[in-house]
Amino acid sequence: MKELDIKLADMHCHILFGVDDGARDLDLSIEMLRIAHEDGIRTILLTPHFHPKRGMASVDRIYDAFIILRDKAAEIFPDLELYLGREVYYTSDHAEMLEDHEELRICGGRNVLIEFSTGTPADYILRAVDNVIMMGFTPIVAHIERYACTIGNKGFVEEIKNKGAYIQVNADSVLGENGFSVHKMVKWMLKNELVDFIASDAHDINHRRPELSKCYRYIAKKFDEEYAAYCMHDMPLRILES
Ligand SMILES: [Fe+2]
């Protein structure tokens, strides 16, 4: 297949080894980077969980793993750029940590990738978004299509956007791999350009692989190529610089 003209950017994945339920060791991290690189991805934001069940590795441990992976990746894939962020499981305690713990924010900036349990009610998520914004940060709601309250609830998605939060969707949901109703909702969000980021959320090399090109082509064909670039290139690069 013809190579894409654009260099893709994946802003949510669990490729960093030994720190959460993603890559278990350095070899798997490198294998995941190889898959991403072959897929045309040249910028990756590593987002280990900050989650009581999926991963609460210390700041030092995460940073040490990041330096090891970044140095190794520079030897093998010199044109691949790696950055470090977190996927923060929202609780009011975690929100209170944002100001003093810059490692919980994307590249230490003002953007925060927040996630919830799949059964979290809409009003809780809306209050969480308000809370993060009130603290002076911009929430990016991770894989919004995975929350039961999102499906069929167009008003909820519009309200999140109107509050000033960003919305992230997983690439496999765009491609219809998480069921009909999720796909239908995601297509509605894309048609109305409510999605800001599309990412792999890759945890390994089987389920949810670190790939975006198929999704990029799908959106370019079914919706608009500029919008595909917005979600998988322009916006990811923008938050890395802010
Ligand atoms: Fe994730």
pLDDT digits (tens, 9 = 90+) for 66-76: 999 999 999 99
| pTM for the full predicted model | 0.97
Q: What is the CATH number of domain 8-241?
A: 3.20.20.140
Q: Would you say 84 and 62 are in contact if contact means Cβ atoms under 8 Å apart?
A: yes
> What does the alpha-carbon distance between residue 104 and residue 84 come to, in Å, rounded to a whole number?
10
Confidence of residue 241 (pLDDT cuts 50, 70, 90): confident
* Model pLDDT, residue 145: 98
Compute, in angstroms, the gap from residue 50 CA to the centroid of ligand 1. 10
Please state, for a pLDDT cut of 90, what percent of the chain lies above it.
96
Compute, in angstroms, the gap from residue 137 CA to the centroid of ligand 1. 20
Q: For the chain, which residues make up each domain, given as ranges? A: 8-241
For residue 29, what are the contacts with CB-CB under 8 A and spacing of at least 6?
15, 16, 17, 23, 69
Higher-pLDDT residue of 242 and 82 is 82
Q: What is the mean pLDDT of the chain?
A: 97
Q: What tokens appear for 173 in the block?
A: 């949901």
Compute, in angstroms, the gap from residue 200 CA to the centroid of ligand 1. 9
**How many residues can be counted in the chain?**
242
Compute, in angstroms, the gap from residue 14 CA to the centroid of ligand 1. 6
* Model pLDDT, residue 238: 97
